[in-house]
Amino acid sequence: MTTHHWPSLPGIAYGGDYTPEQWTRETWREDVALMREAGVNLVSIGIFAWGLVEVREGEFDFSWLDEVVELLHANGIAVDMGTPTASPPAWFFANHPDARAVTRDGVPLGFGARGMASHSAPAYREAAVRIATELARRYGDHPAVVLWHVHNEYGVPVGEDYSPHSVRAWRGWLQEKYGTLDALNAAWGTAFWGQHYGEWDHIGAPATAPSVINPSQRLDFARFTDHQLRACFIAERDAIRAHSDRPITTNFMANQHGGCDLWAWADVVDVVSDDHYLWAADEEGEIGLAIAADLSRSVGRGAPWILMEHSTSAVNWQPRNVAKRAGEMARNSLSHLGRGADGILFFQWRASRSGAEKFHSAMLPHAGTESRVFREVVDLGAKLGALEEVRGSRVHADVAILWDFESFWAQDLEWRPSEDVSHDERIRAFYEKLWRDGITVDFALPGHDLSGYKLVLAPAQYALSAADAANLVRYVENGGTLVVSFFSGVVDENDAVHPAGFAAPLQPALGLRVEEHLPLRAGDRHDISFDGVRLSTDVWQEDLVLAGADVRGTYLGGPAEGRAAVTRHAHGAGAGWYISTRPDAAGLAAILDQAYADAGIRPAGHPTGLEVITRRGDAADYTVAINHTDETVSLQISGTNLLTQAVAEGTLEVAAGDVVVVRSPHAAQGADQP
């Protein structure tokens, strides 16, 4: 992280993507008036405007953009200036057909949609740096510009590239990583299926082949793809930095696009920003939202971040795009804020009449200002205006869940033991238990310093290097409580099975080894007996060989019938739990309750459906409480609701669907906060 941090803005940032290029000047004037009405203080512009600024290769017309920037500035609305490199213009693809990204099947992807080019094509890199440079030169010191927004959602809609440019860069990347072909052949295990390489130039991208491509190669290609995208970002960032000292970000997609290793990305931006959209089919989308927000905060190591995009109501790209209910937009926004966001922005200000996303909701919908959505946008602006003092406060968590993009890339490759095993599903299941208990969670990598956490959960750590495993073992040794779910620690960083077998590097902490995976047939369910209670499980069993662990749960059926299902191992000053099957939600809750006890963690005890998160400021705590139910519920708290200035002494009623933000003295929340 560089020293440039937060955009120069008062209070909480509020606004959205703004596309004046789609509208007349008359509409621009209406827009800024309505922005002011809504309390908007920051808009992102220029993100898809490359061809309207660089009208022919190397020929620039900034006139309209100048006008927009001045109009916004005159109205007190700050600018998040986008670089338009996520969507090169028509002339780019016409002039550089070789710079198109190419699919695994060899289909070059051209213009007409949202057209990312090959991230490795020299022509693309040059063009991206040129436009970024010109924008920075012109607007780098403009008082309206408080933030740079490079590109858009790296990796989406296309990240992987099988073009010749990509293949050439890939060989270079491999040469740098491995040094020698011997090292590469060893890391990839090319002796299997006769894949030995004798020349660097014989290595190709993992394109469509007769069968399954070497998984180590694919894992490295995922790393390479992530690296190339990040290199594109860095090139633009540095081009801007040469002319501007404002903070530079690019919008992540936290838990919605897995192709970028956000732990690495967070290190190269000045401020983390994230786009988040509810998954409409999920009737508890607020839990997925909370994961995204906690992850955005965690990759930035706890620093405040910006919610760069979310939606006021429905999106357009899901099978069924469910609209938000009354109040849901505010609940969503304040959950993000509670989890560390100091900026709440939307895609987009005004709904587009044309194009692929015309059915995406906006702050100003097709129905205009006389609409539920616009009224709620104005109301939210007022609410955020009352929360200025929250800015910069931080969230604290006693529990960490491991979230490792590289492990996910490896796990998602072909030919794993069971297609029913999903890291997303397991992480959600573990997270959901904590969410329902009102326990705040950070995400972490297995190699991080975990000593600050009382409890560390590993719901899906398929790939785990020996070094990272040793870190986890040390964590337990030093008094931590670790809970590991099945199909973890299986392979190392090259997707090679650990020499001593599955989960072997965790053996000191878990007191067992995994002799064999026992995936179940579709639909098979078997009970386990856990502390005398029957819990229902499915998908997976394992044949465990105990090496010190205590058996806490036993299989009552299935291939491992009669054998250990759940274990606890006392190791050093801590304890290592292992869950070798997939319990349902009630079962997982029963097991984790015991791990809580080990860790000295207690559920927060809030009413069901009341989501409560606390941010710790220099002078006070700020508790955000969101009532997801249709009834009024009571929050035990003393302090002032900043949204109403009501003062609570011990109890605050939160109306159905409502949100409160309460300023309290520090440490009023309970003994489990340090």
325 marked ligand binding residue: no
Candidates 501, 548, 557, 572; binder of a second copy (CB under 8 A) is 501
What residues numbered 625-644 form the site for a second copy, per CB under 8 A?
none
Nearest to 404 by CA among 441, 434, 443: 443
Identify residue 190 by its one-letter amino acid code. T
CB of 274 to a second copy, least distance (A): 20
CB atoms within 10 A of CB 630: 8
Task: List residues bridging with 625 in a β-sheet.
Answer: 612, 660
Part in contact with a second copy (CB under 8 A); list of ranges 185-193, 284-292, 329-337, 589-597: 185-193
Q: Do residues 164 and 98 make contact, with C-beta atoms less than 8 angstroms apart?
A: yes
Residues 303-332 touching a second copy, rule: CB under 8 A, are: 313-314, 316-317, 319-323, 325
Q: In angstroms, what is the minimal distance from the CB of 207 to a second copy?
A: 6
Q: Are the beta carbons of 248 and 269 closer than 8 angstroms?
A: yes
Would you give the distance in Å from CA 177 to the centre of its chain? 27
210, 562, 650, 674: residue in contact with a second copy (rule CB under 8 A): 210
* Whole-number Cα distances in Å, 215 to 188, 218, 220, 606: 8, 5, 9, 46
- Stretch of 278-286, 427-435, 641-649, 655-663 lying at the interface with a second copy (CB under 8 A): 278-286
Closer residue to a second copy (CB): 496 or 668: 496
Contact with a second copy (CB under 8 A) among 77, 132, 351, 528: 351
> Taking CB under 8 A as the criterion, which residues in 73-112 touch a second copy?
84, 87-91, 93-94, 101, 103, 105-112
Q: Which stretch binds a second copy (CB under 8 A): 7-15, 270-278, 360-368, 639-647?
A: 360-368
- Contacts of residue 320, Cβ cutoff 8 Å, sequence gap at least 6: 280, 281
Q: Cα separations (Å) of 342 from 506, 589, 613?
A: 39, 33, 14
**CB of 619: closest distance to a second copy in angstroms?**
42
Site membership for a second copy, residue 407 (CB under 8 A): no
Selected from 41, 83, 133, 216, the binder of a second copy by CB under 8 A is: 216
Residue 560 · residue 574 · CB < 8 Å: no
Q: Enumerate residues 152-171 that contact a second copy by CB under 8 A.
A: 157-158
Q: Which of 54, 134, 153, 236 is catalytic?
A: 153
Between CA 320 and CA 500 the distance in angstroms is 48
- Count of chain residues binding a second copy (CB under 8 A): 121
Distances (CA, A) of 1 to 270, 400, 566, 623: 6, 22, 41, 28
Identify residues 132-151 at the interface with a second copy (CB under 8 A).
Answer: none
Smallest distance, Å, CB 451 to a second copy? Answer: 32
Candidate residues 33, 113, 183, 242; the one interacting with a second copy per rule CB under 8 A: 113
45 touches 375 (CB < 8 A):
no
Write down the least CB distance from residue 417 to a second copy, Å.
5
Amino acid present at 344: I
Q: Which of residues 5-24 bind a second copy (CB under 8 A)?
A: 19, 21-22
- Smallest gap from Cβ 556 to a second copy, in A, equals 16
Nearer to a second copy, 61 or 245 (CB): 61
- Omega before residue 157 within 30° of 0, cis: yes
Find the binder of a second copy among 189, 302, 452, 548 (CB under 8 A): 189
* Pattern 508-547, a second copy, x by CB under 8 A: -----xxxxxxxxxx--------------------x-x--
**Cis bond leading into 673, ω under 30°?**
no
With vertex at residue 175, the alpha carbon angle to CA 170 and CA 176, rounded to the nearest 5 degrees, is 100
Among 376, 432, 437, 495, indicate the residue that binds a second copy (CB under 8 A).
Answer: 495
Which of 521, 666 has the CB closer to a second copy? 521
Q: Which stretch binds a second copy (CB under 8 A): 72-80, 364-372, 382-390, 434-442?
A: 364-372
Q: Which is nearer to a second copy, 514 or 601 (CB)?
A: 514
117/101 Cα distance (integer angstroms): 5
Which token pair is 668? 């009023």
Residue partners of 77: CB distance under 8 A and separation at least 6: 15, 32, 35, 36, 40, 41, 42, 43, 144
Site for a second copy contains 454 (CB under 8 A): no
Cβ 171 vs Cβ 267: under 8 Å:
no
Of residues 70, 201, 550, 631, which one binds a second copy by CB under 8 A? 201
> Least distance (Å) from a second copy to the CB of residue 206?
5
182 binds a second copy (CB under 8 A): no
- What is the SS3 assignment for 259? coil
Alpha carbon of 98 to those of 130, 441, 529: distances in Å? 19, 46, 61
In the complex with a second copy, which residue's Cβ is closer, 90 or 586? 90
Cβ 603 to a second copy, closest distance in Å? Answer: 30
Q: Tell whether residue 202 is a contact of a second copy (CB under 8 A).
A: yes
Segment contacting a second copy by CB under 8 A, of 28-36, 139-147, 368-376, 654-662? 368-376
- Nearest approach, Cβ of residue 1 and a second copy (Å): 30
Confirm or reject binding of residue 473 to a second copy (CB under 8 A): no
Q: Which stretch binds a second copy (CB under 8 A): 67-75, 136-144, 231-239, 417-425?
A: 417-425
Active site residue 153: yes
Burial class (CB in 10 A: 0-12, 13-18, 19+), 302: middle
The two three-digit tokens of residue 281, written as one number: 């089919």
Please give the residues from 551 up to 570 whose contact with a second copy meets the rule CB under 8 A: 559
152 is in an annotated binding site: yes
Contact 459, 423 (CB under 8 A): yes
**With contact defined as beta carbons under 8 Å apart, do 662 and 338 qualify?**
no
Residue 279 contacts residue 339 (beta carbons within 8 Å): no
The reply on whether position 209 binds a second copy by CB under 8 A is yes
If the CB atoms of residues 25 and 521 are measured against a second copy, the closer one turns out to be 521
Site for a second copy in 38-67 (CB under 8 A): 48-52, 55-56
Of 54, 160, 236, 309, which one is the catalytic site residue?
Answer: 309
Helix (H, G, I), strand (E, B) or coil at 129: helix
Query: What DSSP line would sit under 83-118, residue for residue?
Result: P-TTS--HHHHHH-GGGBEE-TTSPEE-SSSS--B-
DSSP string, 281-315: T-TTHHHHHHHHHHHHHHHTTT--EEEEE--SS--
- SS3 state at 571: strand
> Nearer to a second copy by C-beta: 359 or 619?
359
Does residue 257 belong to the site contacting a second copy (CB under 8 A)? no
Residue 633 Cβ vs a second copy, minimum distance, rounded to whole Å: 22
Note whether 370 binds a second copy by CB under 8 A: yes
> Rounded to whole angstroms, how far apart are CA atoms 580 and 409?
22
Please identify which residue in 114, 257, 474, 616 interacts with a second copy, judged by CB under 8 A. 114
Binding positions for substrate: 114, 152, 317
Residues belonging to the binding site are 114, 152, 317
So which residues are the catalytic ones? 153, 309
